Copies of this chain bind each other. A is one copy, B any other.
Amino acid sequence: MDRRIAKTRKAIFAAFDALIVRTDYSKISVQNIIDQADIGRSTFYEHFETKDELLRAKCTDLFEHIFVPGGTEATHAFSRNSTFEEKIMHILYHLLDDKKVIKGILASEGRQIFLQYFRSYLAGAVEKENIRVEEVPDVFLKNHIAGSFIEMVCWWADCDFSESPENLTRWFFCVMPTPIANL
């Protein structure tokens, strides 16, 4: 509503993005963000209690865009009736959009918070697919699928996203247990 609020938030997020691509998260002080955003000290604290909370807000922002169908943008649609494979690829394409920021976060101490959000959103998505593998408990399997996917993305970021989402998706299904290929 109030343009001032939106403006300040935007400036803070932009400042954070600018800093995270070139500085380790742990080395970024609140003052750095304030300077980069060109706002007053108390203003920052009126918006976020801590630096971590800012990162959390950033993650929410990021993953809402990726996982929530009715998001503001319709860049790559996440339609409810797409296959599991299509959903996987959809996520990878989205991550590619913010690759610099994501690589920055993953390479820093912000990684943990980021992965926590990633995992929780991903768990929701995996939950919806009805996947079974004989002799293996469901919770175990779900953790394995979400976990492997996350590990793959981390690996992807490590090598600067230098593989196509198509390749990743194909390989991912190759290393999944046999029953999953048939979806």
Contact = CB atoms under 8 A, between A and B. Distances in A.
A16 to B, nearest CB: 19
A144 B151 contact: yes
Interface in A104-159: 109, 111-112, 133-137, 140-141, 143-144, 147-148, 150-152, 154-155
Q: What is the copy number of this chain in the assembly?
A: 2
Contact of A144 (B136, B141, B148, B178): B148
Contacts of A174: 133-136, 177
A30 interface: no
Contacts of A140: 152, 155, 171, 175
A174 to B, nearest CB: 5
A154 B150 CA distance: 13
Query: How many A residues touch the partner, as a band?
Result: 20 to 34
A28 interface: no
Contacts of A144: 148, 151-152, 175
* A interface secondary structure, majority: helix
A177 B141 CA distance: 13
Nearest to A142: B155
A135 B170 contact: yes
A177 B171 CA distance: 11
B155 A143 contact: yes
A176 interface: yes
Contacts of A171: 135-137, 140
A29 B171 CA distance: 44
A143 B135 contact: no
